[in-house]
Amino acid sequence: MATISEMYDVGWEEMRDKLRKWREDNCRNSEQIVDVGEELISEHASKLGDDVWIIYEQVMIAALDCSRDDLALTCLQELRKQFPDSHRVKRLSGMRLETNTQEKRKISILKAQGKNAEAIRELNEYLEQFVGDQEAWHELSELYINEHDYGKAAFCLEELMMTNPHNHLYCEQYAEVKYTQGGLENLELSRKYFAQALRLNNRNMRALFGLYMSASHIAASPKVSAKVKKDNMKYASWAATQINRAYKLAGRGTKESKCSMKAVEEMLESMQITMS
């Protein structure tokens, strides 16, 4: 996996300055602080001089936000070593202890009891405090989906996509939610996000099938212009080719999956007919 400095072509000074800017502006972008700060600390701690301590504090708080207890502990230990009697460090210690585990346990219990509405409420409250906790956002999106509240599920996934723009799974799930919501506008959005998921990972079969389905439905809609229809038939056709190819590749050598492949070919052909 690429480092921050490799991905964005920045040196350690820029990373340090970025962290300072975020401190000064009181930014709550915990994910980014964790990414940049963790790398800075592990690779360049010796170069940071006295700045390193305030960076440890900044990263620790951000790490707690993102449920990165391992990182939070590392930072805390360094600070304790350097400032053994500090009130400030004691307060940080306290922050770590009173953290999210109790609330998370409560939410799990509510879910196990089937009390979805309450679990949703608790999760929302939790996320106001720990806004960077990915797992919690994802759990909330799933709860909303199970309650058929697709609008709110989409919102959660939007948060996840914003903080994880390279994650093809969130993109693909967002597309699925939009598709389920229905309507031409949502279908077009879902097609775009299925396509985006494919750009991020061209082997995501759900995204490929999703692209095929959404484009096919758009093309079959009486409400679209001839151009939109033609474009979507092109997308669907491309997706169908890719799907067939993926099945051929998977089916090489096994007799059983040939029936799967044949079923897919036929399905795609029959849908082409309904589209045109």
Using rule CB under 8 A, residue 137 touches other proteins = no
CB of 76 to other proteins, least distance (A): 34
Nearer to other proteins, 21 or 258 (CB): 258
CB of 57 to other proteins, least distance (A): 39
CB of 206 to other proteins, least distance (A): 5
Interface with other proteins in residues 198-257 (CB under 8 A): 205-206, 209-210, 213-214, 246-247, 249-251, 254, 256-257
Q: Which of 61, 189, 215, 271 binds other proteins (CB under 8 A)?
A: 271
Q: Which of 3, 42, 241, 270 binds other proteins (CB under 8 A)?
A: 270
Nearer to other proteins, 23 or 206 (CB): 206
Q: Give the integer Cα–Cα distance in Å for 135 and 133.
A: 6
Nearer to other proteins, 74 or 216 (CB): 216
Q: Which of 103, 118, 142, 158 binds other proteins (CB under 8 A)?
A: 142
Q: Which stretch binds other proteins (CB under 8 A): 15-23, 36-44, 86-94, 261-269?
A: 261-269
Question: Pick from 25, 1, 31, 30: which is nearest to 165 by CA?
Answer: 31
Nearer to other proteins, 66 or 261 (CB): 261
Using rule CB under 8 A, residue 148 touches other proteins = yes
* Alpha carbon distances (Å) from 45 to 48, 73, 86, 107, 181: 5, 16, 21, 38, 49
Interface with other proteins in residues 79-108 (CB under 8 A): none
Residue type, 160: L
CB count, 10 Å around CB of 157?
Answer: 27
Q: Report whether 63 contacts 56 (CB < 8 A).
A: no
CB of 189 to other proteins, least distance (A): 13
Binding to other proteins by CB under 8 A, coded x per residue (else -) over 170-189, reads -----xxx-xx-x-------
CB count, 10 Å around CB of 26?
Answer: 6
Q: What is the total count of residues that contact other proteins (CB under 8 A)?
A: 37
Q: Give the integer Cα–Cα distance in Å for 181 and 192.
A: 15
Phi, psi (degrees; rounded to nearest 5) at 10:
-120, 155
Using rule CB under 8 A, residue 27 touches other proteins = no
- Interface with other proteins (CB under 8 A): 112-114, 142, 145-146, 148, 175-177, 179-180, 182, 190, 205-206, 209-210, 213-214, 246-247, 249-251, 254, 256-257, 259-260, 262-264, 266-267, 270-271
